[in-house]
Amino acid sequence: MPELPEVETTIRGLKKKVLKRTFIVVWTDWKKTIKKPKDFKRFQKELKNKKIQKIWRRGKNIILELSQGYSLLIHQKLTGHLLHGIWNLESGIWIPKNDSNLKEKVNSYIHLMFFLDNGKMLALSDLRKFAKVELWKTEELLNSEEFKKLGPEPLERSFTFEKFKKTLANKKGKIKQVLMNQEIIAGIGNIYSDEALWRARIHPFKNVSKLKEKELKQLYKRIKEVLEKSVKLHGESFSDYRDIEGRRGRFDEMRKVYGREKEKCFRCKSEIKRLKIGGRSAHFCPKCQK
């Protein structure tokens, strides 16, 4: 699933390509992607002629603020990613026009297409069809229970060490699970929790209440570090994620532990282990993560 760096990369790309553009027509072959309103014809009608006035991110959510007090929320979920370009529909398949990156197989699972006023298009490629799209009144979205529950943004200046420590205070459970809880800290998922914990030398199964001040400082520093590095490298394309031009992210060059089961630890050469935790996988070095 795209995490904070991948979503932030998408946001920055969208700002360059679609800001101030207007939605003209929407096409889909999978209406279940549209969660609000569930009536696709109503969705089409309400989105038509709305201008994109602002683009921002909250956790893993992409928000396009529109004219007339509306906002379009897109959550890419497990395999979804947004693409910008021009396509032709041929025998039910969207074929990109003159763009080699968009022709990569992972970019071909297009189930939602937005036509813009400048002749360009915004597509959602989603192999597993888990992504969700919602059209809200902006005020209602900002005051929604879902948004209010989201934790602080780890890359904002206001997210100081003191705030981090306060956020984790009195929390119960294994640190890996706590870091992935969007109501505690927004935007961190499986990849970057593994990467930050490896860099901080903390075992993913360690209980939060057992973390010492020194460990908390290391973890805070490594979370910021790994997220900032990944944003600069346009995210991780270990799986399906691509940026809006269909290009792979380059965080793979920096990946130390995620997806490296049975490979050697870069620090101590021990074998990287993978264990299940709450239905997810934790990758770690059993020797240097205590």
Cβ atoms of 194 and 283 closer than 8 Å: yes
Q: Helix 213-232 vs helix 190-200: angle between axes, to the nearest 10 degrees?
A: 130
Distance CA 44, CA 168 (A): 43
Per-residue DSSP letter, 97: S
Residue 253's identity, in one-letter code, is E
d(CA 232, CA 12): 11
Those residues with Cβ within 8 angstroms of residue 54's Cβ, 6 or more apart along the chain or in another chain: 19, 63, 64, 65
Q: How far apart are CA 198 and CA 22, in angstroms?
A: 44
- Dist. CA 62–CA 246, nearest whole Å: 17
Q: Is 195 exposed, middle or buried (0-12, 13-18, 19+ CB in 10 A)?
A: buried
- Give the residue numbers annotated as catalytic, written as ranges: 2-3, 60, 280
**Residues 6+ positions from 278 with CB-CB distance below 8 Å:** 177
Distance from C-alpha of 11 to C-alpha of 231, rounded to nearest angstrom? 11
